[in-house]
Structure 1
Amino acid sequence: MAELFENIKKLCLADGTSGDEGDVTKLILSMLPQECDAKIDPLGNIIVNKKGAKTPKNKVMLAAHQDEVGFIVTYITDDGNLKFTTVGGINPEVVIGRQLHFKNGTVGVVGGKAVHQQSPKERDEPVKLDTLTIDIGASSKAEAEKYVSPGDCAYFRSDYTELGNGYLREKALDDRIGCAIMVDILNKNLPYDVTCVFTVQEEIGTRGAKVAAYTVKPDYAIVLETTTACDFSGNDGEKRVCELGKGCVVSYMDRSTIYDRELYRLGFEKAKEISVPCQTKTLVAGGNDSGAIHSSVGGIRTVALSVPCRYLHSPSCMIKKSDMQSTAELAYAMYLALAEK
């Protein structure tokens, strides 16, 4: 598993918002064994076919998305500050005061009106994204334009950090975790042929997954993801959604998919069979590439396996390493089971 976590570190440190995944794509391609047949489709998905020892009864596709949430510059003010919007869903509350960086090395800080200048009403209201700017230290529009242009993407500035008791934090664990698990599977000696798709533009509407599903036309799809864990002080019962340390999350429903009931149950059966912990989500929330995949090509039977993650879509996403390991093991077991189902 050491190589799996080393790949996670490399993948998370790469930058790639929806529509600008090129650097992540190059990194993933460098991690694949030579015997893989990898192609990049017009939208940017990497579609990888690998021959196994034999052709399976069913065509199985594993999918995980390359892109991460981030920011895109929309306008440069006369005094050199950058107006921006988010790429994907980011709570403005986690943005203010954060350090961001651009691929050319430019660094900035997100700022807004100081609290002592806000009216009582403004202090009570949620932060609004259109009141914030990125400050790169420029004194004028002309100076800022030497470093940044509208359309440039910015990213949370964050470092891979291993915490105590098997926890780690980093940006973009959603969904470089799924990408790392597929890279790990593709580097094994496989008993059956498999197709792995590293999708693009998941964070802005699962666009890459829809395209890839029509290209691959699988019998079964396994979507590898992260999902929101709210297992911290102030949340009780079902509001915790899922918990770090309790293993892979197998979902029955989210806002874009009602999952195949048989595959949902099979996930728990296989987890028990291979002795890895497994849990489900206790709240119907979120969504992922399953939403596009399961309703494509006349319908594709789909299951989602996720690593529970705190503080999703922030610079400090947090997971427990044991949960990633259980998800990787269950993903492999499910691929074997569905190949000959």
Structure 2
Amino acid sequence: MILEELSNAFGVSSVEGEVRKIIVEAVKDYVDSWRIDTIGNLFVTRRRRIETEASPLKVMVTAHMDEVGFIISEVKSSGLLKFKPVGGFDRRILLGKAVVVGSDKVPGVIGLKPVHLVKRGERHTVGSIDSMTIDIGANSDSTRVKAGDFATFATQFGYLGGQPDAVSPHAGQVKGKAFDDRAGCAVLVELLKGDYPVDLVAVFTVQEEIGSRGAKVAAYAVEPDLAFILECTAADDLPRQSDEADEGFPRLGDGPAITVMDRSFIADRTLVDLLIETAEAEGLPYQFKRPGIGGTDAGAVHTIREGVPSAVVSVPARYIHAPAAVLDLTDFWNTVKLMTAVLQKLPAKEG
């Protein structure tokens, strides 16, 4: 599936070219046009296929191509690489992880002192990122890496518990890196195959993880009537300290997660109601993202020009912003079904 290609692709913020190329190849034969802007956003247009008497709405649907990663800040005389984070990380998950560096995807490992050498006072502490290095097995003269190159985790996409079969082709769980937001990108690729009474402008944005920079440019250029942002959000169905602890949400397998509010955005109530009503009419499961945490491209999109009515729909996944995340394929395909039905129900433009 397209999610596998997208997850395996290298695409840290500002170097999303490999991801963009995969998407173009996937959609170019059944869309009306596509273009790339100066900052790297990919705009793909599929014009109205279901005729209405009035003019069609211009609906922008976005998903960001970039992933969290690292930028090389220094090549030491030993050949070890100093690095800085690109996007948000919990540094506890970095030590000992396999990575790839630069356009040549040079393999490396984030160094970790073995337990045999750890002093008693070090056993329960995690050093700062500034104290970490990437080892690519080179000295400073032989390395193919330079300061300013990017790195990401070397995780490969895979199925947990076996691949889907003919009986349940859309079931099962998968693991991979960069599901935030390659899952949203994969949903958007599927949506571009549908027929709608609106002009659909799909925008695969850049640099979301460092401040939604691509989305600001894109929304200003498109000037949409309304917008949907497709995301991958953190599932919170993890083990609790006690049986009495509240169950977390969103949960894997419970459907797409609808955002009501996050740290940078309050969703348009009319669009939220449309998502809920459509899910219930179609018999699709849905849930809500935990309010008040995180942020998405919607924070930028909804404030552009005179304002853009916006909503966010997310595929939940465990362990995002880490070397490997896990998502449920039923959530992925139910997100595709929900958004397809919503786009088909949108009215024509008034006036």
Q: Fold conserved (TM > 0.5)?
A: yes
Classify 1:121/1:284 alpha carbon distance in 2 versus 1 (closer, same or farther; 3 Å): farther
Does residue 1:49 correspond to 2:45, yes or no? yes
In the alignment, which residue of structure 2 is the partner of 1:214? 220
Which secondary structure state, in structure 2, belongs to the residue aligned with residue 96 of structure 1? coil
From the superposition, tell whether residues 339 and 90 of structure 1 become closer, same or farther in structure 2 (CA, over 3 Å). Answer: farther
- Between Structure 1 and Structure 2, which shows a larger proportion of helix residues? 1
Offset of residue 129 of structure 1: 0.8
Q: Which runs of 5+ in 1 are unaligned?
A: 1-5
Shift in Å at residue 183 of structure 1? 1.3
State the alpha-carbon separation in 2 of the partners of residues 175 and 127 from structure 1.
28
Residue in structure 1 matched with residue 238 of structure 2 by the alignment: 232
2:90 corresponds to 1:91 = yes
Q: TM-score, normalised by structure 2?
A: 0.90
Judge conservation of contact 2:238–2:248 (CA < 8 Å) in 1: yes
Return the alpha-carbon distance in structure 1 between the equivalents of residues 246 and 286 of structure 2. 16
Counterpart in the other structure of 1:135: 135
Structure 2 match to 1:314: 322
Q: Does 1:12 align with 2:14?
A: no
Q: Which residue number corresponds to residue 254 of structure 1?
A: 262
Cα displacement string for residues 92-139 of structure 1 (whole angstroms, at most 9, x for unaligned residues): 11111010113314110001444454555543334311111000112x
Counterpart mapping for 1:117-266 below 5 A: 117-138=117-138, 140-144=139-143, 147-164=144-161, 166-234=172-240, 240-266=248-274
SS, match of residue 211 in structure 1? helix
In structure 2, C-alpha distance between the alignment counterparts of 1:121 and 1:194, rounded to whole Å? 58
Counterpart residue number, 1:82: 81
Q: Aligned pair in 2 of structure 1 residues 136, 301: CA closer, same or farther (>3 Å)?
A: same
Paired residue for 1:60?
59
Provide the rounded CA distance (Å) in 2 between the counterparts of 1:281 and 1:294: 18
Displacement after TM superposition at 1:329 (Å): 1.0
- CA displacement 1:173-221 (0-9 Å, x = unmatched): 1111111111112123444321110000001000000100000111110
Give the SS at the match of 2:209: coil
1:288-341 deviation line (CA, Å, top 9, x unaligned): 111100111111100000011100011211100000111111111222233437
Aligned partners of 1:59 and 1:339 also within 8 Å: no
| Selected match of 1:28 from 4, 23, 28 | 23
What code does the residue aligned with 1:210 have?
K
TM-score with structure 1 setting the length: 0.92
Confirm or deny: 8 A CA contact 1:69 1:203 kept in the other structure: yes
Residue 76 of structure 1: CA displacement?
1.0
The unaligned stretches of length 5 or more in structure 2 are: 162-170
Distance in 2 separating the partners of 1:287 and 1:337: 27
- Does the 8 Å contact 1:33/1:186 carry over to 2? no
Instruction: Find the aligned partners of 1:58 and 1:238 in 2 and give their Cα distance.
Output: 42
What letter matches 2:48 in structure 1? G
> Take 2:173 and 2:189, find their aligned partners in 1: how far apart are those partners?
22
